[in-house]
A = this chain, B = another copy of it.
Amino acid sequence: MLQNQKIEPRTLQGFDDRHGAEMIVRNHVKNVWEDIFQNFGYSAIETPSLEYSEILTGKYGEEEKLIYHFEDHGGRRVALRYDQTVPFARYLTQHRNLIVLPFKRYEISRVWRADAARKGRRREFYQCDIDIAGTDSMMADSEILQVLYAGFMKLGFAEHKILLNHRKLVSGFIQSLNISQEQAIEVYRAIDKFDKVGQEGVKKELLDRGIQSQFIPKILEFISLDGDNNQVMLSTLADLVKGNELGELGLSELKEIIEICAFAGIPSQNIQISPRLVRGLDYYTGAIFEVVVDGFPGSLAGGGRYDGLCGRFSNEEIHAVGVAVGFEPLCMLMTEKKMGPKNTAPADLFLVLFNNEMKKDVLHLAQNFRTKGLRVQVSYEASKLGKQFEKANKLGIPQVVILGPDEKARGVYVVKNMETGEQKEEKIPV
């Protein structure tokens, strides 16, 4: 070992150290979702970070190139997971005999994508997922939206909108234009770029992808449909897919989901049908949805029904619907808008050490505060008091506790409020 040769301390591009106030926000967001998930009766599961490469390939469409693959010590082709959904489908089929269906699970953990790194797009990030497997009931699709509504309300996004669409509705519409199934996937991918490139951009994408120009005005009309009134939107869409079995099925499921959401108390202004929402991933088959808020580009959650995914691993088809909350954009937005917890200090109290003879008394007092649930730091050095106060101040700890020989003789300690400078005495507990 060449101990004197210094290694430059640095992180890989797209990978982050996180600390301080940022971690306080992250833990807050994580705890809110975890509470809500448990509140709705979801169970925690964990799947490994590494999977056999073959488990992940062929599931993510054009994004598949972003998967980190490598060869392990035993010569196996392995891959870091790209999301938590494909591993969940693998999990379901692998442990099928142990699982009571319908099965509701949540998972909040890291995923990896070798994407072009920039602000808001990192190579390692958290996903925050729930899924319901084993039912095709629209009660399940609606429950996912109820969970989203509950979580975003709890986090302070009263104005959030759940955008809702249905793959079968879009497929039915495309089918009714007599576009082939192979071409349909190209239409999806073009529409998926709407938010980035706008209507003109989609038009160009459609042409580039070989869609015949006669279809394009109708497609553009469909994806331009917009409106706050879901009932009006439903009847407009009903006209567009009239007579197409697939489209009508999709529409009736959409209707049912919206009805159940209303039963569950989601205000209609928080749900909006959006025909141009398609979501890029290959595996969706039914309802699809995203959560957006004004002033933030991109979505804060995205998901849908993927009834075909488990069939990649097993002959038994298992219906499934789920959502991934965009943990990273959500934390970023809440940090920027200062929507996180106000108290970001590492402790509530800082106990100074007047001199080394006071160690026992100070440590005893610290333990007493801790049993009351307070977060307590104790000074490690009996340095000058001013220096110890400065330390507490730098850390933003709101209160400092002084217990010196004089205080001890009087059976008290002093609490100093670091913001106001106010001091008060309290009795030392026995």
- Chain A residues at the B interface, C-beta cutoff of 8 Å: 1-3, 6-13, 15-20, 23-24, 26-27, 38-52, 54-55, 58, 68, 70-74, 76, 78, 90-91, 93-95, 98, 100, 102, 104-105, 110, 112, 114, 123-124, 132, 135, 137, 139-140, 143, 146, 150, 260, 263-265, 282, 308, 311-315, 346-347, 350, 353, 359-360, 363-364, 366-367, 370, 373-381, 391, 394-395, 397
Contacts and interface: CB of A to CB of B under 8 A. Distances in A.
11 contacts: A3-B312, A9-B93, A11-B47, A15-B50, A19-B43, A41-B347, A49-B49, A68-B73, A100-B394, A143-B378, A264-B367
Contacts of A2: 58
A51 B12 CA distance: 6
A140 to B, nearest CB: 5
Contact of A70 (B70, B90, B265, B360): B70
A294 to B, nearest CB: 26
A264 B369 CA distance: 13
Contact of A20 (B43, B70, B313, B381): B43
A5 B357 CA distance: 74
Given A54-B7, A314-B6, A49 B112 contact: yes
A381 B139 contact: yes
Given A367-B264, A378-B139, A19 B45 contact: yes
B135 A48 contact: no
Contact of A263 (B98, B132, B360): B360
The 8 closest A-B pairs by CB, nearest first: A70-B70, A41-B347, A41-B377, A15-B48, A9-B94, A263-B360, A137-B380, A9-B313
B9 A90 contact: yes
A27 B40 contact: no
A52 B367 contact: no
A354 to B, nearest CB: 14
A23 to B, nearest CB: 4
A76 to B, nearest CB: 7
Nearest to A68: B72
Given A12-B48, A95-B17, A112-B49, A359 B314 contact: no
A47 B150 CA distance: 30
Nearest to A259: B359
Given A12-B72, A50-B124, 16 more contacts: A2-B58, A9-B91, A9-B93, A15-B50, A19-B46, A40-B370, A40-B377, A41-B350, A41-B375, A49-B49, A50-B123, A70-B70, A110-B110, A140-B380, A264-B363, A265-B364
A49 B394 CA distance: 30
Contacts of A9: 55, 90-91, 93-94, 313-314
Nearest to A139: B380
A265 to B, nearest CB: 6
A112 B68 CA distance: 16
Given A104-B346, A380-B140, A11 B44 contact: no
Contact of A76 (B12, B48, B312): B12
Contacts of A150: 370
B137 A381 contact: yes
Nearest to A371: B39
A78 B80 CA distance: 13
A371 to B, nearest CB: 9
A2 to B, nearest CB: 8
Nearest to A78: B12
A44 B264 CA distance: 37
Given A12-B52, A378-B143, A73 B264 contact: no
A17 B3 contact: no
A100 B18 CA distance: 15
Given A70-B70, A143-B378, A346-B104, A23 B1 contact: no
Contacts of A20: 43, 98
B48 A124 contact: yes
A370 to B, nearest CB: 5
B48 A17 contact: yes
